Structure 1
Amino acid sequence: MEEVALLLLLVQLPATAILLSRLLQAPGRQPPLQTRSPTPDLLGRVSVIVPTLNEAARISPCLEGLSRQGYEVREIIIVDSRSQDGTVDRVKAMQTHDPRFRVLTDDPLPSGWVGRPWALHTGFLHSSPDSEWILGIDADTQPQPGLVASLIQTAQQGGYDLISLAPQFILKELGEFWLQPALLITLIYRFGAAGSAADGADRVMANGQCFLCRRSLLTQLDGYTSARRSFCDDVTLARNAARSGAKVGFLDGANLLKVRMYEGMKETWQEWGRSLDLKDACSTPQKWGDLGFLIAVQGLPLLVTLGIAVYLILGGAATLPIRLALGLNGFLVLIRFALQWAIASSYDFTQARSAWTFWLALFADPLAVYRIFLSSLRTPTQWRGRQYQPLSASPSE
């Protein structure tokens, strides 16, 4: 047991130092964005693009939220990939109230492209050249009034070329309230809280659910071409932009954007879990290094703490390495409890039926890290109802 404790200390001590260096940036991070009113100089600055594929059941709040944005939005382009469920009919109904909406049907998916970046690329190519900004919005989001004006003014004041937002998540069921926060923590451990400065282009984080980019930067990057093969195209594109010298921000948008991503624990595990490793946006050493880091600081602490406690209760020798390992892992568990409280504002509890399980998400941490491991081993062949041949691409492509 003493040898195991020494091995744990050897691995976990440097990982804990890295974790603390990231978390200690939180007090200096940019505050959450707030609602802002548009000003006359913003007139017609933004083209909004919404990629859709069979979104009829959940797109209405997105369309209604976009219709409440001000005159800074020039056009709202819905790029539909031949939906069969009435998605287009819902958009056309909205057109009768707001002429800024228009529907495009993208061309058949070319070889080597994933559906989402292809739809966004199509929308970019068909957007007005007079729009200074391109805003990608997912169909499962609920934009709040003042979202777009806040984004543009924040970008102008901060000198950003690209901004994406961390939303407020709408959860409902017992299982998803237990699992989803543990999956979210894997991102915070690796990249810090939203609003924190990234440690280089390869550590940039992004969220394509709300992704604002200067048209000039997208033109420089040839639209979404550099992320065409990526199942995490948002992070891939943001990192490519950062490598080109662009100023990229990932900020807290919980006050301005809500999202109902998945229905229940099973769908959360399958759909979100398969891309959280971000393998399409990083090198192989970075992917496995991040996984090892997560195992050390998130997957093991609760198990080690409980295991050593049982060992000591059963009469095991409390040697110095064992006491140190217990103290270190207990400290990591305390950090995790504190983070659970800190991320509570990232969740909308108003529709919850089993919100109490949110506070038990710590016990899902080993499962969340295991899901990252599984995703790291596999290349997706199915996404949003589409089948793909195995794709491969370097993260710098």
Structure 2
Amino acid sequence: MSWVIALVSHSTALLSLPIAGFFASALLLIQIPATFLLLSRLSKGPGRRPPIVPQAATPDQLGAVSVVVPTLNERDRLTPCLVGLSQQSYEVREIIVVDSRSTDGTPELVKDAQEKDPRFRLINDDPLPTDWVGRPWALHTGFLHSSPHSQWFLGMDADTQPRAGLVAGLIQKAEAEKFDLVSLSPQFILKYPGEWWLQPALLITLVYRFGPTGINSDSAERVMANGQCFLCRREVLAKLEGYTSAKGSFCDDVTLARYAAACGFKVGFLDGAKVVKVRMYEGAKETWKEWGRSLDLKDASSMSQVWSDLWLLLSVQGLPLPASLILFSCLGWGITSPSVMAAAGLNLFLLLIRFALLFAIAPSYDRSQGSAASWLFWLSPLADPLAVWRIFLSASHRPTSWRGRSYSV
């Protein structure tokens, strides 16, 4: 860090007053409207719906839900998901694991679970069509093989760890709010130092773009969703022709949710930190590579929306840290023009917002496992420029591989 500060100081020394003023004015030009947009989104936070909590099943929920879990070589992390699903009550009619011909022993793990709980059923999906991505294809296959007597379809990822009472609580909330489709943000399980530093910065890119979970979206194109725990009325999913609308999307959850909203169905995105946990990736490298590929959401967005989001992230998340170093160095060198002082104040304000948001998202992280590196969470704003850079990289090209599969560009 010392060499960064030295470099910034040296660069600042070379700035003349006109150059510094121009730099500050340019920052103000792009950051002021972005700041107002950010504040308008964050201001909705106090009105967000409370987190989902576990509930006991009620008699009218008997056999109401078909659960589908897509798998491809998930043996190392599937057990907590299977255990959590087996703890759900009679509201779960069946648990269909759609395996894409795993070679690591995943099917055997499911068969072992089936011996203890007959609700588990293992099927294989057909060979992947050229115009489909693997995950929506597996979920679509599961939907086609699910019972027509179920009222709800629940897609869950293999890396989730459901808590007992999750499904009953989710159904009760969906019916009370008259949601046709609702998904949950989980509580994240992190272990290694790089994860604790980088992952929260990537998560904040979603908060900046779409606001807190539990609020109403202004329009279909601003709807957010999470396929890790994704509940939809079966009759609605049938009208949407399953996952067909999201067949080629690497963010099929958001694509399908926005399509449903555009068709007039009520879509919700709620806080599920009290009912479901997730261990997504192993380490910062895998987090950067795998999660970063779909986090731009370009498959669910128009190009104008993608570029608007990139402008926002650059202005209010990517620039404040380096800009503050430069601007306060300018002030230290005696360059105190009004534009420099205004820009310095604005970027300091944005940094304060970012650090304050750490307290808002802290419940989204599981600290019960005693990770010694969890303190790095509080330094995650220092990773913001890197996180924004990852979104730019992701938005610039389509993935060629995903979860062990290769795709044509």
TM more than 0.5: yes
1:342 to 360, 365, 379: 360
Residue equivalent to 1:266: 285
Q: 2:330·2:336 contact (CA, 8 Å) conserved in 1? A: no
SS, match of residue 59 in structure 1: helix
SS, match of residue 165 in structure 1: strand
Distance 1:206 1:14 in 2: 26
Distance 1:204 1:303 in 2: 31
Residue equivalent to 1:329: 347
Distance 2:275 2:122 in 1: 25
Matched AA of 1:337: F
1:233-272 counterparts in 2 under 5 A? 233-272=252-291
Distance 1:225 1:103 in 2: 22
1:347-386 counterparts in 2 under 5 A? 347-351=365-369, 352-386=371-405
Q: 2:331·2:341 contact (CA, 8 Å) conserved in 1? A: no
Distance 1:353 1:235 in 2: 34
Residue equivalent to 2:53: 34
Q: Is 1:143–2:175 an aligned residue pair?
A: no
Distance 2:23 2:328 in 1: 14
Residue equivalent to 2:14: none
SS, match of residue 58 in structure 1: helix
Q: Is 1:208–2:208 an aligned residue pair?
A: no
TM-score computed with the length of structure 2 as normaliser: 0.94
Distance 1:291 1:199 in 2: 19
Offset at 1:350?
2.5
Matched AA of 1:327: G
The count of aligned residue pairs is: 389
Q: Is 1:189–2:208 an aligned residue pair?
A: yes
Q: Which runs of 4+ in 1 moved over 6 A?
A: none
Matched AA of 2:344: L
Matched AA of 1:182: A
1:149-168 counterparts in 2 under 5 A? 149-168=168-187
Q: Is 1:68–2:87 an aligned residue pair?
A: yes
Distance 1:337 1:325 in 2: 18
1:55 to 74, 91, 101: 74
Q: Is 1:169–2:188 an aligned residue pair?
A: yes
Offset at 1:151?
0.7
SS, match of residue 326 in structure 2: helix
Offset at 1:10?
1.1
Residue equivalent to 2:139: 120
2:251 to 220, 224, 232: 232
Q: Is 1:15–2:39 an aligned residue pair?
A: no
Distance 2:50 2:294 in 1: 27
Residue equivalent to 1:43: 62
Greater Rg over alpha carbons, structure: 2
Q: 2:179·2:268 contact (CA, 8 Å) conserved in 1? A: yes
Distance 1:66 1:319 in 2: 61
Q: Which runs of 5+ in 1 are unaligned?
A: 391-397
Matched AA of 2:218: D
Matched AA of 1:108: P
Matched AA of 1:65: G
Distance 1:314 1:41 in 2: 71
Distance 1:368 1:350 in 2: 26
SS, match of residue 76 in structure 2: coil
Residue equivalent to 1:279: 298
Offset at 1:298?
0.2
Offset at 1:260?
0.2
Offset at 1:56?
0.4
SS, match of residue 362 in structure 2: helix
2:148 to 124, 129, 144: 129
Taking every aligned residue pair, what percent have the same amino acid on both sides?
Answer: 65
Residue equivalent to 1:394: none
Residue equivalent to 2:4: none
2:44 to 25, 50, 59: 25
Range with greater deviation from structure 2 (250-259 or 345-354): 345-354
Distance 2:68 2:345 in 1: 50
SS, match of residue 152 in structure 1: helix
SS, match of residue 77 in structure 2: coil
Distance 1:177 1:145 in 2: 27
Distance 2:350 2:397 in 1: 29
SS, match of residue 35 in structure 1: coil
Matched AA of 2:346: L
Offset at 1:342?
1.1
Matched AA of 1:204: V
Offset at 1:314?
2.2
Deviation sequence 1:145-196 (CA, Å, 0-9, x none): 1000011000000000001000000000000000000000000000011101
Offset at 1:318?
0.7
Matched AA of 2:41: R
